[in-house]
A and B are shown apart, each in its own frame.
Chain A
Amino acid sequence: MLSCRALRKDYVTERGPVAAVAGVDLDVAAGRYAAIIGRSGSGKSSLMAMIGGLSRPSAGQVLVEGTDIWSLSDNALSAFRNRRIGYVFQFASLLPTLRLIDNVALPGMLGRTGATKPLYARAAALLGQMGLGDHLDAYPGEVSAGEQRRAVIARALINEPALILADEPTSDLDEQTEIEIMDELLAVNCERGTTLILVTHNLALAEQAEQIVHIAHGTIVA
C-alpha cells in the first residue's frame, strides 16, 4: 500500500540546513492502522506531508498503491491527492468563506464535472455521521474546534480515499472529544478498510495501532 524509500527532507534556513527527515524507509500494508510517534520537532509532520503529496522530498521515493507519487506531474499529483488521499491537518483547515457542507463537498467538486446533487447528499450523510447534521449550513467560524475537526474528517472521506493521513488530529481538543474523533477514524479504518496513518502524542491511542513507528531526529528508531 505505502512504501517510503530513503526519504529525506532538508529545510534550508538562515542557520544552515535542517534535516527534518533523514532517510526513512517505511512500509504500511493496505487496510492497516499505523501510528507515528515522536517528540515535537522529530519530523513527523514533514514525513506525513511527503507521504501525502504535499511537500516534495529532498530525496527518496513515496509509493502509494504502487504509484511513485513524486514522479507525477503537478496536475496528476493534485488529482491523485484528490482521489486517493484524505488529509487531516494538525491545525484548522477549513475554508472560512464556505459552509461546512461546501467544505466537505469541495474535494468532490474539484477535478470532476458531474451532478452535484449526489455529491451534496454524500457530504450531508458524512457530516451527519460525524454528528454535524444540524450544522450543515454553518460556517467554520460558527462551530467549535472539535466540530471543525470532524468536518475536516468528513472532507477527507468524501472521495473515498485509499489512505487517510491524520497529523495529530486531536492534540488541541479535550479528552472526551479526542476519544469521539478517534472512534470515527478507527471506524473508517475498520469498516471501510481505509489505510490510516495517525501521528499522535497520545501513547494510549498509539498502542491500539497495528503498527507503531517511532521517530526521533528524522529517523525511525523503532
Chain B
Amino acid sequence: MRLLASLALQNLGRRKARSLLLIAAVAVASGVVFTGATLMRSIDRSMAVGFTRLGADMMVVPEGALTNITAALLTVEPTDLVLDQDLFARAAITSVNRAAPQKIARVEHSGIGSHHDSVDLIGFEPALDFTVQPWLVEKLNRDLRPGDVILGAGRTAPLGSELLIFGKAHTVYGRLGKTGVGTHERGVFMSFATLEALAGSVHGPNGPPAALQQGKVSGFLVELAPGATPLQARFAILSTVKGVRVVTGDSTMSGIRQGLAALLDGILALMVLMFASTALMVSVLFSAIVTERRGELGLLKAVGARRGQIVGMMVIEAMIATGAGGALGVVLGILVMRLYERSLVYYLETIGVPFVWLDGPHMVAVAMLAVVMASIIGALGSLYPAWRASRRDPYDLVRGEG
C-alpha cells in the first residue's frame, strides 16, 4: 500500500535526529556483522584451501637450518644445509603418510625479474609432492616435462612462453594460485631433474648451492598418517633419522586450524550478541515510538485501517530505517576493510594464515544478507509493539491513555 509506505517515510522524516540515531546504531551493528562475516568466510575459504591444498603438518629440515616457522608449510626454506633425498624412504616411519622432498635455492642474477632480485628456485618431486601441484590454477594441456617451470602467483609470464634461467631456456608450464605465502607466491618451481640441470650454470659465492646436488634436498614436507599425532610423528622421526629438526606444533597448519576455529567461534558469538542487542534496542525504541504515535494509529484505525495495515505501516517504517542502517553498515564495513586490508592480511600471514579474500559475488551475497538481516531486525523489533497497539480499541488509542 503506497499510502502507508509514504506515511511511514514521512514519520521517519518528522523525527530526523532519532531516525538518524537509529540508522547509525543499526549501521554499526550491521557493519560489524558484515565485516565479521566477510572475514569469517574469507578465513573459512582460506582454511578450505588449506585443507584441500596444504597437506603439510610438519616440516623436516637439516638440524642447523634456520626456518621461518611462521609461514604455512608450503615450501621449505632456503638454507645451505641439505639432507639425503632417500631419508624417509629408508626410514619407513608408520606415523608419516607422505614426505615430499623439496630443494630450494635462492639465487641472484638468474635473468628472472630485474637484475638484482633474488629468486627462489624450488625443486619438487612430482610423484611425492602435495603442496605445489594442487595449487596449479592454469597449465599447459600436457604433462610436466623436464625443462618446464611453474610460476608462483606473484609472477607474470604467459603460459607456454620461454623463460631464460641463467641463460638456459625453460617453458612456462603453469601458474599457481594465490596462497598468501611469500616464498610460494614468488617461487619458480620445477622438477628435481630440471633444477639439477641448472647446477652447472648457477654461480654462488661458494659455488653452486648445495641443494642442487643430486640426491640432496633442503627438507621434507610431511603429512601425518591418519590418526597419528604430531607428537608421535615427531618422536618417531627424531629417533629414526639423525641430524634433522622437526618443525611442528603451533606453527603448523594443525595448530593454525585450531586457533582459527577459536577465532571463528569468537566472531560468531560476537555477531549473535550484536544481532540480539540491536534487535532489543530497536524493539525498545519502537515501543516508545508506538506509544508516542498511539493517537495517529487510533485515528487510522478509526477511519478504517485494518490491523494488518497498522502493523504493516510500523513494520515498513522500521524496516526502511534498519535496512538503510544495514546498507550504510555494509558501506562502512567495506571502507574499513579496504583501509586495513594491508595490515590485516599481513598480520594474518604472520600468524600463519594464508589469507584469500572472499570473491566479489560472495561478498555481494554477504552484503545483501547483512541488509536483509538488518531489515529483519527492524521487522522483529517493531512487530510486537505494533501488534499490541493494533489490538487496542481505536477510541483508547485516540484518547491516549494506558
CB-defined interface of B4-19 with A at 8 Å, one 1/0 digit per residue? 0001001100100000
Contact A82–B303 (Cβ < 8 Å): yes
Q: Which A82-125 residues sit within 8 Å CB-CB of chain B?
A: 82-83, 87, 89, 93, 95-98, 102, 106-107, 109-111
- CA–CA, A54 and B401, complex, Å: 15
Contact A95–B395 (Cβ < 8 Å): no
CB-defined interface of A113-157 with B at 8 Å, one 1/0 digit per residue? 000000000000000000000000000000000000000000100
A55 within 8 A of B: yes
Interface size on B, residues (CB 8 A): 23
Contact B7–A95 (Cβ < 8 Å): yes
Contacts of B395 in A (CB 8 A): 49, 54-55
The B contact surface, by secondary structure, is helix
Contact B300–A81 (Cβ < 8 Å): no
Which stretch of A35-43, A71-79, A170-178, A187-195 is in the interface? A71-79
Contact B304–A110 (Cβ < 8 Å): yes
Contact A155–B303 (Cβ < 8 Å): yes
- CA–CA, A160 and B128, complex, Å: 89
Q: Which B203-243 residues sit within 8 Å CB-CB of chain A?
A: none
Given A87-B302, A155-B303, residue A110 in contact with residue B309 (CB < 8 A):
yes
B393 within 8 A of A: yes
B299 within 8 A of A: yes
With both beta carbons as reference points, the residue of chain A lying nearest to B13 in the complex is identified as: A97
- CA–CA, A105 and B11, complex, Å: 19
B117 within 8 A of A: no
- CA–CA, A79 and B11, complex, Å: 25
Q: Which B301-354 residues sit within 8 Å CB-CB of chain A?
A: 301-309
Contacts of B299 in A (CB 8 A): 93, 95
Q: Which B269-312 residues sit within 8 Å CB-CB of chain A?
A: 296, 299-309
Contact A55–B303 (Cβ < 8 Å): no
Given A75-B307, A106-B3, residue A97 in contact with residue B302 (CB < 8 A):
no
Partner of B14, one of A78, A83, A97: A97
A56 within 8 A of B: yes
Contacts of B304 in A (CB 8 A): 78-79, 81-83, 107, 110-111, 159
Contacts of A79 in B (CB 8 A): 304, 306
CB-defined interface of B388-400 with A at 8 Å, one 1/0 digit per residue? 0000011110100
Contact B303–A81 (Cβ < 8 Å): yes
- CA–CA, A110 and B302, complex, Å: 11
Q: Which A29-50 residues sit within 8 Å CB-CB of chain B?
A: 49
Contacts of B300 in A (CB 8 A): 95, 106, 110
Contact A97–B11 (Cβ < 8 Å): yes
Contact B302–A106 (Cβ < 8 Å): no
Residue of A74, A82, A95, A107 ringed by the most chain B CB atoms within 10 A: A95
Closest 3 CB pairs of A and B: A82-B304, A55-B395, A54-B395
B residues apposed to A, CB below 8 Å: 1, 3, 7, 10-11, 14, 296, 299-309, 393-396, 398
16 contacts between A and B (CB under 8 A): A54-B302, A55-B393, A56-B393, A75-B307, A75-B308, A78-B305, A78-B307, A82-B304, A89-B398, A96-B296, A97-B7, A97-B14, A98-B7, A106-B300, A109-B1, A110-B306
